[in-house]
Amino acid sequence: MFPEMLDLTSQMLMKWQRLGDGAVIDPVDAFTRLTLDTIALCSFDYRFNSYYQNEMHPFVTSALDALLESGRRASRTGLETRMRLWSQQHYDEKIQYCWKICDEIVAERKRHPREVNDLLNVMLKASDPDTGEKMSDELVRFEMMTFLLAGHDTTSGLLCFAFLLMLENPRTLQKAQAEVDEVLGDGAIGVKHASQLPYINAVLRETVRLYPTAPAFSRRSLSKDDVFVGDGKYRVRAKDTVVVSLPKMHRDPEVWGDDAEEFKSERMLDENFQKLPKNCWKPFGTGERSCIGRAFSWQVSLVDQSIEGLY
């Protein structure tokens, strides 16, 4: 997937260069286009071509509108939600549009099969080893939605925070640029370089420590009885749900020291990172339900930060 990631990052930088020195660049918009296009191309061999359009692709705006409405529903009663007929119609339209895009991609692949090593081919061809059952088109659609929506938004958030923090800390930016110069020289970045950029890797680790773009996860007690956690300090009742706030956990002075609120990439270099207590850094969730796209997101971020360092 590396060549596709490089292709799209290069598109973004080419657009920036052509805008000229006096242009104002909105990083949220730019990185959202980058990560959406990257997931679509790498996973489904589909191009949204976001850098050739003035407006964000309607998939993004439709999906975000639907997410916002879902969030509002969490604070309403069921009756209130049912009474909001216009909101329901708007909500359904946005969801249907996103599903339509996914279904069109699947239909096109079935009409014109291609031997590409992507996620879509795996989902369409793979079968359960015990039953031989294959994924239904509906299930494929739902998985595509998860990757496109959850994957692009969180990775673009990581990139935005990383560049903001480097601009606020010029020494960090200079050290990142120096590492890129040393590793790449005048050459192009390749997949082999991903493991040769420890400082940029530390910048990303420290960024998601302070600003995890998926800022919480929850766990529900399955015990039939109350249990006590935290050396007996906290009681969790049967069937209670516990929400873990990552921005709080990642800034615990007992783990990170008195400067826990400060951005210091050096604390995340391998020799320091490996000494951290177990389970103190969880920006991608935890356990069996942790982020399936972690490696993908990290590689996109490394490619983007490194190639921008050349400029």
- Residue 291: active-site member: yes
Cα angle 188, 194, 197; round to 5: 95
Q: Are 202 and 175 in contact (CB under 8 A)?
A: no
- Residue 44: active-site member: no
Residue pointed to by tokens 């249907």: 96
- Reference 152, options 34, 1, 66; nearest CA is 34
Residue type, 264: K
- Which residue among the candidates 2, 81, 273, 291 is catalytic per the annotation? 291
- Reference 10, options 300, 307, 299; nearest CA is 307
Q: Tokens in use for 163?
A: 């560049």
- Which residue among the candidates 9, 154, 172, 213 is catalytic per the annotation? 154
55 contact partners, CB below 8 Å, separation of at least 6: none
- Which residue among the candidates 147, 263, 284, 296 is catalytic per the annotation? 284
- Residue 98: active-site member: no
Following DSSP, what letter does each residue of 51-109 receive, concatenated? GG-SSPPHHHHHHHHHHHHHHHHTTS-HHHHHH-HHHHHHHHHHHHHHHHHHHHHHHHH
291 annotated as a binding-site residue: yes
235 contact partners, CB below 8 Å, separation of at least 6: 226, 227, 228
Q: Where are the alpha helices (DSSP H) in the chain?
A: 2-19, 27-44, 58-73, 78-83, 85-111, 119-125, 137-145, 152-168, 170-184, 198-210, 246-249, 253-256, 270-273, 294-309
- Reference 306, options 18, 9, 14, 34; nearest CA is 9
What distance in Å separates the CA atoms of residue 57 and residue 55, rounded to the nearest whole number?
6
Binding site feature residues: 291
Binding site feature residues for heme: 291
- List active site positions: 154, 284, 291
